[in-house]
Amino acid sequence: MPELPEVEVVRSGLAPAMTGARIVSVAVHDERALTRHAAGAADFVARLEGAEVTSVARRGKFLWMPLAAGSSDGRAAIVGHLGMSGQLLLRRPDAEPERHERIRIFLEHPEHGELAVVFADQRTFGSLAVDTLVPTADARAAGWGSSDPLIPSQVAHIARDPMDEAFQDRAFREALRTRSSAIKRVLLDQNLISGVGNIYADESLWAARIHPETPASALSTTAVNRLLAEVRAVLEKALAEGGTSFDAQYVNVNGEAGYFAHSLNAYGRTGQPCTRCGGPIRRDAFMNRSSHFCPRCQRRRR
């Protein structure tokens, strides 16, 4: 599943093409891509056609595109979640249909001219919707790419991500003191810290020398601070390298794959030597997925 770096790469690619653009028309090819838009395809199209997009924003793994106040619904936004295999691609309006294309949004941009944003999704777990904007709980800007304290209602429960300047390290440390769950499980809790998935959790825990099954409450303040620093370092490096791509599903708006996979130290390296100590990387089952870690460098605490 795409994590924060992959989604941010998509956001930053969409922003120049969508900000200030008018939505000319919308073609819904598969209503399964509108599972989060309960009113259905006709309503989705009617609320978007003629609207102007003011920005492209992100919190965690969610994207949204606020609509201008003068549009058909001024306190609303297009909300996108890529699910496991979703893609948002920039194309010419007359470009051939993408494989697994579900929705095509036709735009007219004052600088770039006619464009199309294509939502393609092989496994159909991703979705688009038009959603109402509500005030953020802390009255701060809602996320990356947004200067407004307004967030889609479908995203309001998602915690800020560690790259967000409004993320509160102290509140995160205090929350961990009351959690007996494994620290990796906590890192994947999008209600506490967003944007971190299985790959970057493994990489961050490896970098911080923390065993993934260590109870969160057992971590010292120093260890939590070290972990947060490593989470940010891993995410920043992945952002610089375009995200992690293991197959053709994880691409940016131009269909190009990221290459952070070549920089991984733990994830997917089962049995290979740890780049720090030389011991073999171990893979354990974890929440229907896997954890990858070095038993020698990341000793388990109880």
The tens digit of pLDDT for each residue in 4-57 reads 888 898 999 999 999 999 999 999 999 999 999 999 999 999 999 999 999 999
Say whether 187 sits in a helix, a strand or coil. helix
Q: What is the torsion angle, in degrees rounded to the nearest 10, for the CA atoms of residue 68, residue 2, residue 184 and residue 137?
A: 0
CA angle 103, 104, 109 (to 5 degrees): 145
Q: Where are the beta strands (DSSP E) in 147-199?
A: 150-152
pLDDT score for 263: 74
Cα 96 to chain centroid, rounded:
27
pLDDT score for 71: 47
pLDDT score for 251: 57
pLDDT score for 258: 46
Show me where the domains of the chain are located. 4-152, 169-293
Known binding residues for DNA are 100, 123, 179
Identity at 295, one-letter amino acid code: P
**Helices of type H across 19-106:** 41-48
pLDDT score for 76: 96
Known binding residues are 100, 123, 179
pLDDT score for 90: 93
Q: Where are the beta strands (DSSP E) in the chain?
A: 22-28, 57-59, 62-66, 76-81, 86-91, 101-109, 113-121, 127-135, 150-152, 282-286, 289-293
Per CATH, domain 4-152 is 3.20.190.10: yes
Identity at 234, one-letter amino acid code: V
Phi, psi of 12 (to 5 degrees): -65, -25
Q: Considering the domain 169-293, what is its CATH architecture?
A: Orthogonal Bundle (1.10)
CA–CA gap between residue 146 and residue 151 (Å, rounded): 9
pLDDT score for 85: 85
CA–CA gap between residue 8 and residue 196 (Å, rounded): 12
pLDDT score for 4: 86
pLDDT score for 151: 97
Q: How many residues does the chain have?
A: 302
Cα of first residue to Cα of last residue in the chain, in angstroms, is 30
Q: Count the neighbouring beta carbons within 10 Å of the beta carbon of residue 27.
A: 15
By annotation, the residues acting in catalysis are 2-3, 61, 289
- Model pTM greater than 0.75? yes
pLDDT score for 190: 94
Identity at 90, one-letter amino acid code: L
User: For residues 105 and 115, is the Cβ–Cβ distance under 8 A?
Assistant: no
180, two tokens: 């007996």
4-152 shares its CATH topology with 169-293: no
Distances (CA, A) of 52 to 4, 25, 133, 230: 26, 12, 15, 39
Q: Which residues of the chain have pLDDT under 70?
A: 1, 70-74, 242-262, 302
